[in-house]
Each structure stands twice: as structure tokens, then as C-alpha cells.
Amino acid sequence: MLGTIVNVGTIVAGTAAGAALGNRFSEKYREVLFTAVGMTALAVGMRATLAAADQGSSMVIIMIAMALGGVTGTAADLHGRIAGASGRLAKDGRRFAEGFITAVIFFCVGTLSIVGPMESAVHGDNTMLYINACMDGITAMALGAVYGPGIMAAAPVLFFWQGLFYLVALTAREIIPEYLLSGITGAGGVLVMMSALALLGLKKVNVSDYLPALVWAPALAFGITLFDL
């Protein structure tokens, strides 16, 4: 849980800094910081996918899982549903509620907030969570400049959100074969790279639509072993 604790800490620190800086934290500097974090996230995602391949997860399975995940998520309109729900919530309540809901969406509905704690639980690797902590710290700084210190209230929500995935993965690690977990890691690495492309402004990707790939990857891996393909 160390990575999650660090993540929570950067949100608190980023919000405090943003609230203190106000409008002086300009778009120009946000772009510089997002570029730095985006390039690092790209490298981390690539490393995770290649590591999964080294542990026996087929790149073909990962590719098919991503394709099926994208089709499934698009058909279910996951991105649209999340965006629609957040839009409705953001319109309700006062300034604090708007800032709080916006922050929770930014911090929790992201690939690294899901894959990161799972990677930490299964392999003891907090790298994804540390990258996420940097991104969330920058985002918290920007949101704190707009909405004030109330953004800190989203930090406990993130802690319980990531903690849930951490505990599930930690429990599953004892009963789920390694090849299934590596499939999740491999697909997760590709999702992180997709997020990096969006951060860098290279391609607009609705990453939420591809989240079902985290289910398809282990399902396909299990199917191959079941039928000895």
C-alpha cells in the first residue's frame, strides 16, 4: 500500500500548492509537466507489457484482448456513460461539490489507479503507482488553483478505491495462476501506454472503452490452456 499512500500524499500536497498559487500556475507549465509524466508513463507501460511477455503471456493474446476489450467497451459506451454521469454530477451542488466530483473522476477513473495497485499486490512493484502519484499531484495542483483546498477531500476516496483493487489482487494472487495475472499486467501495460498517448496529445484515446481488456486477457489465456491450443 506504500504506492497508494504516496499517491494520496501527492494529491494533498498538489492541492495545497495549487490553492496557494491560484491562477499563477499557467497552462504552459501544466503542459511541460504532463509531457514529462506522459513520456515516463509510456516507458512504464511498455516495460509492463514486455515483462508480461517474458513471463509467458502471449503478445497475440494481449492484442486480441485489447481488440475485444475495445469493441466490448465501445458497444457498452463505457466512456460515454462515465462522462455522462460525471457531467450530471458536476452540475449538481455548489463549488465544493463540483470540484470534489471532478477530482474523484480524475483520480479514480484511470488505468493507473486500477492496474497500479494490482501490480503492487501481485509483483510488489509500485512504479505505476508512483507515476500515477506524479500525474495526480499535477492534476491536484491545477484543480486546487481553480476550486481551492476542498480538492483534498478526494484523497480518502482514492485511498479506498485503490485499496479495494489492492486487496482483491492480493487475495487472488494466492489462487489465480501466474499466467492469468501476467495477462492482466500485459493488457494493463498497453492501457497505460494509451493513457500516455492522450497525455502527450499524440492521439485522443477513450481509454475507458478498453478497460474490458483486463477481463478478456486472462479469459483468453485460460481458454488456451483449457483446450491445449
State pLDDT tens for residues 198-220: 778 788 788 778 888 988 988 88
In this structure, are residues 94 and 143 in contact, taking their beta carbons and an 8 Å threshold? no
* HSE, side-chain direction, 13 A CA sphere, residue 17: 14
Mutual orientation of helices 111-123 and 178-199 as an angle, nearest 10°?
150
Nearest C-alpha neighbor of 124 from the set 51, 207, 175:
51
Domain count, the chain: 1
Nearest C-alpha neighbor of 6 from the set 148, 141, 162, 122:
162
Question: What is the residue-level pLDDT of the chain in tens, covering all 229 positions?
Answer: 788 899 899 999 988 888 887 666 667 776 777 787 778 778 878 887 887 777 667 888 889 999 999 999 999 888 777 666 655 555 544 556 656 666 776 787 666 787 788 888 887 888 888 988 988 888 788 778 767 787 888 888 889 988 888 888 888 777 767 777 778 778 888 887 887 787 787 887 887 788 889 889 888 888 877 776 5
The pLDDT value recorded for residue 93 is 46
- In eight-state DSSP terms, residue 208 is G
Range of the domain at 128: 2-227
Cα–Cα distance measured from residue 45 to residue 103, given in angstroms and rounded to the nearest whole number:
24
The pLDDT value recorded for residue 171 is 82
Nearest C-alpha neighbor of 108 from the set 155, 74, 144:
155
* HSE, side-chain direction, 13 A CA sphere, residue 168: 12
Q: What type of residue is 176?
A: I
pTM for this one? 0.69
Q: Is 77 left (phi over 0), alpha (psi -120 to 50) or beta?
A: left
Q: What type of residue is 169?
A: A
